[in-house]
Amino acid sequence: MSRGGTLHFWLGEFFLWLVFLAGAGSFFVLEGILKWGVFVFWIVLLWAHFLEPFWLQVEKKTVSLSELPALKIAIFSDLHLSPGKGEHFLQLIVTEISKHKVDAVLIPGDFFWGRALLLGEKLAPLKKLSVPVFATLGNHDHFPEGRRGVDQSHIAERFLKSAGVQLLRNEAYFWPEKKMWIAGTDDNDRGFDDLDKTMGSLSLKHPFLLLAHSPDIVKKFSAETSPALTVSGHTHGGQCRIPFLGAVPGVIPCETGRKFQRCWYPSRRLFVSGGVGESALRLRFWNRPVLTLLENNPDQKA
């Protein structure tokens, strides 16, 4: 068993198995409503751990942004590769993307739940994509759990580039086919972002799309730095949601994310991915991992 995030993963698994066993045992001891309440909780926990985290949802969304050209992009975030959810799940995502005619893939960070050195090879399925893949780093890509003083971003960058990913760390890439810029900040949850440097690497003669891990980036925009579209993740959509009410209170780790939990917010031209992975505990409820196919039709009325 390795140190860092991998140890945290197995500790989380051990804790969940203790809860499973305690729930199963208490069913035969308790009586009445309490007994059946424990049973329902046990079933929900089994679902949230073993089934929903692997049940990929593909959603299609059409927007109308007149500043951007017509394009179709695949978006997923917060992959959080781990010993329990890795290469096979990423291959499922890649296979699904390949079924659709997209122009590019955007991934706004958090590739790992643990140490990039141990998990980086699991990014191999990304090599099979035949379209450009643009990404930024997230907070977990810098600091694995249990090793907050060790910045692993250079290792994450090496594995991402070897998988064919165009990694953007406070820089921009001009996309000649679409005559637009794809810009990306480094992780803005832990303060590695530099929006001024990012803006300095592009020309405003052409429109630009911005990738940033946390949706909190919108608080830094001015009239001059506001992109035609911002794509973020980080929130996991709350990871576990209460039916018809939303994310469990206190779970989403950023101010803007608590207001903009997931999906499309036209007033901010902000798209927040609900993510495909998990951190802390491998649990998802009422919130399937989601791959979004976002299509811009600039001539369509909003």
Residue 232 domain boundaries:
53-296
Does the pLDDT of residue 20 top 50, yes or no?
A: yes
Q: Which residues are CB-contacts of 23 (< 8 A; sequence separation ≥ 6)?
A: 38, 39, 41, 42, 45
Percent of the chain whose pLDDT exceeds 90: 74
Burial of 63 (0-12, 13-18, 19+ CB in 10 A): middle
What are the phi and psi torsion angles at 295 (to 5°)? Answer: -115, 130
Does the pLDDT of residue 301 top 90, yes or no?
A: no
For residues 286 and 237, is the Cβ–Cβ distance under 8 A?
Answer: no
Query: Using CA of residue 212, residue 216, residue 217, residue 221, what is the dihedral sign?
Result: positive
For residues 272 and 278, is the Cβ–Cβ distance under 8 A?
Answer: no
Does the pLDDT of residue 140 top 90, yes or no?
A: yes
pLDDT tens, position by position, 205-260: 999 999 999 999 999 998 778 999 999 999 999 999 999 889 988 889 888 888 99
Identify whether 20 is part of a domain.
no
3-class DSSP state of 88: helix
pTM, whole model, 2 decimals? 0.92
Confidence at residue 150, expressed as pLDDT on a 0 to 100 scale: 83
Identify whether 301 is part of a domain.
no
Identify whether 268 is part of a domain.
yes
Give the C-alpha separation, 73 to 228, whole Å. 14
Between helix 5-27 and helix 32-46 the angle, nearest 10°, is: 150
Query: Using CA of residue 235, residue 240, residue 242, residue 243, what is the dihedral sign?
Result: positive
Taken as a whole, the chain contains a residue count of 302
Does the pLDDT of residue 2 top 50, yes or no?
A: no
Query: How does residue 3 score in pLDDT terms, banded at 50, 70 and 90?
Result: very low
Confidence at residue 26, expressed as pLDDT on a 0 to 100 scale: 76
14-23, 229-238, 269-278, range with the lowest pLDDT: 14-23
Give the C-alpha separation, 119 to 260, whole Å. 30
Identify whether 71 is part of a domain.
yes
Number of separate domains in the chain: 1
Identify whether 171 is part of a domain.
yes
Identify whether 125 is part of a domain.
yes
Identify whether 47 is part of a domain.
no
Determine how β-strand 263-265 pairs with β-strand 270-272. Answer: antiparallel
Q: What is the mean pLDDT of the chain?
A: 92
Identify whether 157 is part of a domain.
yes
CATH code of the domain containing 141: 3.60.21
Confidence at residue 31, expressed as pLDDT on a 0 to 100 scale: 72
Helices (H) and strands (E) in the chain, counts: 8, 14
pLDDT tens, position by position, 157-171: 999 999 999 999 999
For residues 238 and 285, is the Cβ–Cβ distance under 8 A?
Answer: no
**Nearest one of 146, 135, 149, 88 to 113, comparing CA atoms:** 146
